[in-house]
Each structure stands twice: as C-alpha cells, then as structure tokens.
Amino acid sequence: MSFDNKSLRCRNCRFWWPIAEGAQAASREHTARGQCRRHAPPPAASEGERTAPLRPVWAVVLAEEWCGDHVHVGAGI
C-alpha cells in the first residue's frame, strides 16, 4: 500500500466529520478540518478551563491527513 495515494485521506474516511468554518457549511469536498470519530474520545478539559470537569473531546484533524484505521466512505466494516 502506498501512502502517496490521495484517496487515503481523512476527507474520504467514513469516520471523519467535517467542521463548519465561518459562514461556509461543512462538506467533505470544501472543509479543511474535521473530527475523527473512529475511537471513543478521551476526556479532556475545555481550552482555558483548568478547573472545569473533564468532558469527551473528539480529535480535530485536517482533511488531508491519514491514519492506519482509514475506511473509505460507503465501505462496510
């Protein structure tokens, strides 16, 4: 498998959820950042809140990143 393959990117993964940026709606084709929802999120404090209770936070990744857990959109598990 070659990691130069452009189809193995987060934007093409069934576990990637695009994040809306500004007035532009979230879409797989035009959004640069999204949440990786492959695994349950670890608890973390909100940014700037050191005394706040921990809450789950999904990892934010760029659309052009990739990982070893990639599953193409529409593929079965």
Over residues 63-74, the pLDDT tens digits come to 999 888 889 887
* Backbone region of residue 48 per phi and psi (left: phi > 0; alpha: psi in -120 to 50; beta: other values): left
Residue type, 65: E
**Dihedral sign (CA 19, 22, 26, 28):** negative
What is the average per-residue pLDDT within 24-28? 83
At a CB cut-off of 8 Å and minimum separation 6, what does 30 contact? 24
Lowest mean pLDDT among 29-33, 45-49, 70-74: 45-49
Report yes or no on whether pTM surpasses 0.75: no
Give yes or no for residue 26 having a pLDDT over 60.
yes
